[in-house]
Structure 1
Amino acid sequence: MRNDKHTFGARITVQETLDIKNLTSRPRRGGAASRREARLRGPVIYLPTAVRNIPTYEVLAQDGLEAIDDHAMNILETIGIEFRDDASAAIWRQAGAEVTGHRVRIAREHIRKLIATVPAEFDYHARNSDRTVRVGGRNMIFGPANGSPNLIDLDGIRRQATAEDMRTLMKLHHVNPVIHYNGGYTLEPMDLAVPHRHLHMVESSFLNTDKPIMGSSQSEFQAQDSLDMAKIVFGEAFVDEHVVMTAFLNCNSPLVWDQTQLESLRLYAAHNQALLLSPFVLYGASTPVHVLAATAQIVAEVIAGVAFSQIIRPGCRAIMGVAPMGVYMKSGSPTFGSPEVALAMFIFGQMARFYGIPWRTNGAKSGSKGDDLYAGYDSILKVYPAILGGCNLLTHCGGTIEGSLCISMGKLGADGQQMQNFYTMLKGVDWADMDTALASLAKVGPGGHFFDEDYTRENLPFLDEIQDNERFESWVATGSKDAGTRGREWCRRMLSKYEEEPPAIEASIREALRDFVERREREIPT
């Protein structure tokens, strides 16, 4: 099967990708850098939704999943969970739950009936229908990081993030082939007044990408503003029937859904938008220091939120947004590349499939302060369990360091290449061309090589655009650049490509969004 439609940088010659100095007497001209530049001058590639063709890794047998479910239901029936919002507590009471103050206890039969209406899959719509993606089932999409207030910029300098930096990252995510949705606080715009930030975030999301976007959920009015802007872009009727935004909503572990998040949840659910329900988990700090006990607690928290969404609007799309982190017991800081977290992620994937609900987790995150070895280790120990565990929506796929307090532009570039590696791996293997491939073996025979074969040229393996696999002398001759430097150079090239091919948007929509932002800035006090 030809893969040139799905692999960034495909349809290139072997001479552009492999060092074949032993096969020719001609000296090489230009080296790796020039070949890489030539590949990156091609058109932007947009990869479709990844469809899993490899099995998931199962840590627990069916009886283990049933035991976790039983413990989670027991938590909701006996300990209960707090919905610290009068309106939400009243809704639970009217729905038949046992409510004491804000403490809600829910019978397991009630929970099961409610979550049965959650769709197992749904379409996540973009303003450009070619960018619409599928969430759930065997599908997987990749997305950006959110909320970091600092960045290591294109010059390698660490500083506070600005609104312009936020827009720059949106542009990079737009031209990153494997990033399927965009927007949200790709960086926290520290130069804007806090009450107005969401307006610029949503406006910038719609203007700088035509991929699906995220809305703001830090308050009810921010959620309403996000929805109103979506209606400007898509039309009110379309928004009511289709998912055009995902709302990121956090439960405060242990066992608390607070008023701010519940107000946003109710609003987004009423408008039929997707809810990414994610307990903020620090294993051993906000959960018991026991993988299975922690899993039962977190399942209870997220399932309570999912069930509540179905009271608001049955059939509302919901995602089990479970993305556990560890904790450094000497300081309380979050950790990422730990075996306990990896095991928990495998089990959360199983539990999401047990309930038939899409699963989100986070990916390339690290506590490192730069583009060092541990930044890679942490990231891989998060991404591999997500990929093998059956994740449907992977967030934080680019640049996260310092435990989410900073985005590194160098790591962002390198992470993007790694996500394309995983995207390719998800497709699995294909028997279709087996006879053709073996025919090339018969042609080459013992002791030959496959570099000149048509089948090789037409089916090149994935090529990382940033990793340097040349000889040491070639690396020195091109500046002895480390991964961070090469990643930042990749970002610069991709930004140039964005400027050559920015996403189009109707002038009337652009003007309507600007008018809305200016009006709301006048209305919202700072």
Structure 2
Amino acid sequence: MERMKMDDDLRQIHEASMEILEQCGVIFHHPEVLEALKQNGVRVEGKTAFFSERQVMDWLAKAPSEFKIYARNPKYDMLIGGDEVNCVPGGYGMSKIVELDGTKREVTKEDYINFVKLIQQSDYFKANGGVIVEPEDLVSGTYFPIMMLTALNYSDKTLQGYLGGTEMTEQTMDMLGIVFGGKDKLKAKPRIATIVSTTSPLQYDKTMLETMLVYLKYGQPVILTPATMAGTTGPVTLAGTIALANAETLAGIAAAQMLKEGTPVIYGSASTTADMKSGGIAIGAPESALCAVYCARLAKAYNLPCRGGGTLTDAKSLSVQSAYEGMMVFLATHQANMNYIIHSAGVMDGYVSFSYEKFIVDLEIIGMVKRFLSGVAVNKDTLAVDVIKEVGPAGEFLTSMHTMLNCRKEPFIPSISLREAIEDDPNKKIIENIENKKKAMLDSYVKPELPEDVQKQLVDYLVGKGFKIELINSML
């Protein structure tokens, strides 16, 4: 506890969370987890575990404050912790594609492959894969290993996992073992991270815990993440929801350390408010941004890496709403130095849908936010006093050598925004720019090398697990 530095509001939230853990407890729907808690002195009644503050804080102290996730291509290795910010595309099962006119269609296998390619093409991402979108012609609950094969085939970035229970998660590790020289080597170099979500209030279900146990077995990071909704699965007051979510996260992290001391974990939050008109989740609300900020503040006080949401929106189509909500949440999350920002591009309609056009717009948002947060460099060259003297009163700077040397690295250069005067419909022009950028990214895509013998081993492995070769080939 001596390592915590908290101001008054964080201290109150922490103390409320400790009271919740001691008096309400957390339900763990898995006998192995409950047994580990008992063996480490946690009071367990039935499936409910009651933690003391000392137990929580002692086990939190065993989690690493930072760690790396390693990519097939070392330039995409991700440092998780401190003030390092990593954008991650996310998705996690969105089954619809939103078209420009707001209509929706089912996701296809081609969409999944396209998004893996677009993510590979963007310098903003060091992670790829997972269930970015959920193809209607590829049932993700059964076929995640084929999605994994696609991500390995089309990308050499770090990987996102899926919550598939014991069997599917072991298959994931088997495939990683094929690519990286054996499952025994995964512990030394983590390659994949997955979300382990709570079921608010105060529960971890069996599938989540099965997935976590396999990840811990192979030393892969888990992201303990409540998605508590103020007013439905949490108190309507945001402080209460944050305290509840904090209790859930801390209980999961403590349990993970008891199961495998020193295992890499990320303190996560996808919490927000519920819409009081419908009872549905409101991910584009100001409360979504506030929950992310408090997640980062609490995680950093506990000296843990943190995860939050990205360009989140409840908008039903590409619109002014999708832009202002996405910008607000992403700016708040990035400004809080969130280490692992999931759903950084493409998410629509409260996690229901994905959009090609919003994905491209979100890349613009990411670039603008990164430029804003980089601040103003102040030094002799940037102050440019000599240049100002040389130009003098009533001069111009456009043709100066100083401008020539800095014009491509000082200002943010948009790729889709309109700045120049145009005579045509501006909305039509910006859509044209979005489509052109998407096409250029897909047209210029170059598949990273995956040795033929490794790909054959992966295909043979999946065939051996009962997956049809025609389906496998359709994702390659």
Equivalent position to 1:119, from 54, 64, 80: 64
AA at the equivalent of 1:496: D
Spell out the pairing of 1:86-165 with structure 2 (5 A cutoff).
86-146=31-91, 147-152=93-98, 158-165=104-111
Deviation at 1:369, TM superposition (A): 1.3
Asked whether the 8 Å contact 1:319–1:358 carries over to 2, the reply is yes
Determine if the alignment matches structure 1 residue 409 to structure 2 residue 356. yes
AA at the equivalent of 1:70: E
Deviation at 1:271, TM superposition (A): 1.0
Partner of 1:471: 421
Partner of 1:23: none
Spell out the pairing of 1:412-431 with structure 2 (5 A cutoff).
412-431=359-378
Asked whether the 8 Å contact 1:215–1:227 carries over to 2, the reply is no
Equivalent position to 2:252, from 305, 312, 319: 305
**CA 1:337/1:195 → structure 2, altered by over 3 Å: closer, same or farther?**
closer
Q: Distance in 2 between matches of 1:403 and 1:285?
A: 16
AA at the equivalent of 1:261: M
AA at the equivalent of 2:176: A
TM-score by length of 2: 0.92
Asked whether the 8 Å contact 2:415–2:433 carries over to 1, the reply is no
Partner of 1:217: 163
Determine if the alignment matches structure 1 residue 240 to structure 2 residue 187. yes
Structure 2 residue matching 1:139: 3-state secondary structure:
coil
Structure 2 residue matching 1:151: 3-state secondary structure:
strand
1:34-79 CA distances to partner (integer Å, 9 max, x unpaired)? Answer: xxxxxxxxxxxxxxxxxxxxxxxxxx96122222111111111111
Structure 2 residue matching 1:394: 3-state secondary structure:
strand
Could you tell me the percent identity over the aligned residues?
26
Partner of 2:472: none
1:396-440 CA distances to partner (integer Å, 9 max, x unpaired)? Answer: 111111111111111110101111222233333323454662222
Equivalent position to 1:71, from 5, 16, 26: 16
Deviation at 1:194, TM superposition (A): 4.5
Asked whether the 8 Å contact 1:414–1:483 carries over to 2, the reply is no
Deviation at 1:504, TM superposition (A): 1.4
AA at the equivalent of 2:399: D
Determine if the alignment matches structure 1 residue 260 to structure 2 residue 207. yes
1:337-387 CA distances to partner (integer Å, 9 max, x unpaired)? Answer: 333333332222110111011111011121111111101121122112102
How many aligned residue pairs are there? Answer: 460
1:67-102 CA distances to partner (integer Å, 9 max, x unpaired)? Answer: 211111111111101001222112211121110110
Q: Distance in 2 between matches of 1:105 and 1:482?
A: 59
Q: Distance in 1 between matches of 2:197 and 2:70?
A: 23
**CA 1:158/1:454 → structure 2, altered by over 3 Å: closer, same or farther?**
farther
Asked whether the 8 Å contact 1:143–1:393 carries over to 2, the reply is yes
Asked whether the 8 Å contact 1:80–1:106 carries over to 2, the reply is yes
Spell out the pairing of 1:221-232 with structure 2 (5 A cutoff).
221-232=167-178
Equivalent position to 2:119, from 173, 184, 197: 173
Partner of 1:366: 313
TM-score by length of 1: 0.83
Asked whether the 8 Å contact 1:126–1:213 carries over to 2, the reply is yes
**CA 1:252/1:468 → structure 2, altered by over 3 Å: closer, same or farther?**
same
Q: Distance in 2 between matches of 1:188 and 1:433?
A: 52
Partner of 1:15: none
**CA 1:219/1:373 → structure 2, altered by over 3 Å: closer, same or farther?**
same
Q: Distance in 1 between matches of 2:194 and 2:265?
A: 10
Structure 1 residue matching 2:89: 3-state secondary structure:
coil
Structure 1 residue matching 2:395: 3-state secondary structure:
coil
Deviation at 1:243, TM superposition (A): 1.3
Q: Distance in 1 between matches of 2:390 and 2:191?
A: 52
Q: Distance in 2 between matches of 1:222 and 1:450?
A: 61
Equivalent position to 1:518, from 434, 439, 463: 463
Asked whether the 8 Å contact 1:154–1:492 carries over to 2, the reply is no
Q: Distance in 2 between matches of 1:181 and 1:216?
A: 14
Structure 1 residues without counterparts, runs of 5 or longer: 1-59
Partner of 1:338: 285
AA at the equivalent of 1:393: Y
Q: Distance in 1 between matches of 2:102 and 2:278?
A: 28
Asked whether the 8 Å contact 1:150–1:160 carries over to 2, the reply is yes
Structure 2 residue matching 1:240: 3-state secondary structure:
coil
Asked whether the 8 Å contact 1:371–1:484 carries over to 2, the reply is no
Alpha-carbon RMSD across the aligned residues, in angstroms, is 2.1
Q: Distance in 1 between matches of 2:212 and 2:74?
A: 26
Equivalent position to 2:237, from 281, 290, 312: 290
Asked whether the 8 Å contact 2:87–2:126 carries over to 1, the reply is yes
Partner of 2:144: 198
Q: Distance in 2 between matches of 1:225 and 1:453?
A: 60
Q: Distance in 1 between matches of 2:188 and 2:160?
A: 17
AA at the equivalent of 1:71: A
1:102-125 CA distances to partner (integer Å, 9 max, x unpaired)? Answer: 010011111111110111111111
Partner of 2:471: none
- Pick which of 242-251 and 325-334 moved more: 325-334
AA at the equivalent of 2:241: A
1:114-169 CA distances to partner (integer Å, 9 max, x unpaired)? Answer: 11011111111100112112111010100113121011369986311122211110
AA at the equivalent of 1:413: I
Which one has more relative contact order, counting CA pairs under 8 Å at least 6 apart?
A: 1
Structure 2 residue matching 1:297: 3-state secondary structure:
helix
Q: Distance in 2 between matches of 1:191 and 1:357?
A: 39
AA at the equivalent of 2:413: L
Determine if the alignment matches structure 1 residue 322 to structure 2 residue 272. no
Q: Distance in 2 between matches of 1:389 and 1:459?
A: 29
AA at the equivalent of 1:363: G
AA at the equivalent of 2:378: W
Partner of 2:412: 462
Structure 1 residue matching 2:281: 3-state secondary structure:
strand
Asked whether the 8 Å contact 2:225–2:269 carries over to 1, the reply is yes
**CA 1:328/1:269 → structure 2, altered by over 3 Å: closer, same or farther?**
same
Q: Distance in 1 between matches of 2:125 and 2:169?
A: 24
